[in-house]
Structures are given as structure tokens and as C-alpha cells.
Amino acid sequence: MSALFPQTEQLPTEFAEPLARAGDRLGPFVGQVLWYGEVPSTNDLAAAMAERGSPEGCVVIANAQSAGRGRQGRTWASPPGAGLYVSTVLRPLPHAVPLVTIAAGVAVAEGIQSATGLTPALKWPNDVYIGERKAAGVLAEAVASNVAAIVLGFGINVMPAAYPPDIAARATSIEGELGRPADRGLLLAECLVALASRYADLQSGRADAVTAAWRVRAASTLGRRVSWDAAGEARHGVADDIDEAGALIVRTETGPARIISGEVHWLT
């Protein structure tokens, strides 16, 4: 067994039972969940599996990550047992690719809501907030040697943890918000069920349903002032909408600007 493919461990009952109850609602994710105690990053493991031809829907979940990654090259704090660290291999049809990351944010928010009753909001593109603090994030990465595959990773802060000082003030957890223990297995199952459903929307040409659901969850951020860096130039404007490819449309004094990727700062 190579270092990239550590031995899987038996899926704990905590996860196995809710996944079994979800059954066919898991769509492509049914019966394909691999559990690890600790890996560097579940995204790396899923990418390696995709490169070796693993089928769509293969799910990698770890109890801890030693090198968890966030968007924009950040670290994703992944202490043991304190969160959900999940990656899956998707092989979307070409028309579905641009909105996969938007759909994933919607799905994680919906999964959290189904499992807990909390009502998460979204900040473009797919940061999952409860109130003013971030509770979960999504990292979609193309598989280098295989343009047909995308690794979709999501991380959910389940328990309050000793997050690094730079993120502690802006982070929250599901249990911190609920004020009681959360069921990690149910969270996993409901997020995968929602992902299966939103992914099916994309694959079958129902992208409008995904963008409409995103707009509802992002309502409190649309209309807010934002700033961003465009090739070294500081720009600002008012966040207006997303387009059919998931780009953020910002109203500026010189007309609409289209942000495809990168960091957006929310000013008001």
C-alpha cells in the first residue's frame, strides 16, 4: 500500500447508521464511503483515487487532517473529531462544471439545515455562515491529469475547537450555535443527500434551481459593498448577483464587473 493510499478503517457506527438510513437518497454516494483516522488532506487522497480511475461518487472522510487546505491557499484547521472533513470525486458533464462549486455550497448549507434546523447563509462563492461567523467551507479542485474529474471537498466545524487566532474570531461551529451536541453522522448523510440532489439538478439541466437556491441563502450579502483585487488594482462596488457560470457580478461606477475567482472583502 503506497503512502497516498493508507489503509482504510471500518466506518464507525456513528456514520454507518445514518448513511444506511439515507439509502438511495445518497445517489452516486451510496455505498462508497472510505473512512480514515488521519490523512494529510482528504482532497489529495480523493484526487489520487480519481487519477487511478475511481468511479464518480467515491467519498473520503477523515477524523482529522494534518494538512487540511482551504480556499486561497489557506490552512483548514482539522483537529481530531471536531469537524467533518469530506471529499468526493465527481465527473460532471461539461455544461455542469462551472456551477459545481456553487451547488456544493448550497448543498452543504441545506444538509446542515436538514440535520440541525439551523439556517446557514452563503457568501460568494460558497462560504457557509451562521450569523456573522463561518461554519463550513467548500474547496473544489480539478484533478491535474484528468480534466473530466473534480474533487469536491467540504469541511464543517462541528465542535468548538482551539482554532488559530487569525480565524477564531470569524469562525463558529454547529455545536456552538446549537448549544448542544450535534450528530456528525446525520450531518454527513444529509450533506451528501443534498449534494446528490443539487448535483443531479446541474447534470440534468436544472441549473436555475441551483442559482435560485443560492440567491435565497446569499440574500443578506447581495447589495453589500465589496472590494477585491483585479490584477494588482484595488476595486470596489456593490455585489449584485451571480451569473449562469457562478461569477459574482458587482456594480461599479464604471459598469458591471465580473469576478470569476479570488478573494472578495465584504465591507458593509
What residue ranges bind ligand BTN (CB under 6 A)?
41-43, 65, 68-71, 74, 76, 85-87, 127, 137-139, 153-155
Least separation in angstroms between residue 165's CB and ligand BTN is 17
Q: Which is nearer to ligand BTN, 105 or 237 (CB)?
A: 105
Least separation in angstroms between residue 157's CB and ligand BTN is 10
Least separation in angstroms between residue 253's CB and ligand BTN is 30
Distance from chain centroid for Cα 245: 17
Q: Which is nearer to ligand BTN, 153 or 237 (CB)?
A: 153
> Which three three-digit cell numbers place residue 163?
482554532
Q: Which is nearer to ligand BTN, 115 or 129 (CB)?
A: 129
Q: Which is nearer to ligand BTN, 74 or 225 (CB)?
A: 74
Q: Which residue is nearest to ligand BTN (CB)?
A: 137
Least separation in angstroms between residue 94's CB and ligand BTN is 24
Least separation in angstroms between residue 99's CB and ligand BTN is 17
Least separation in angstroms between residue 14's CB and ligand BTN is 18
Q: Which is nearer to ligand BTN, 176 or 238 (CB)?
A: 176
Which residues neighbour 119 within 8 Å (Cβ) at sequence distance 6 or greater? 113, 130
Q: Which is nearer to ligand BTN, 42 or 197 (CB)?
A: 42
Least separation in angstroms between residue 86's CB and ligand BTN is 6
Q: Which is nearer to ligand BTN, 73 or 255 (CB)?
A: 73
> Which three three-digit cell numbers place residue 181?
451536541
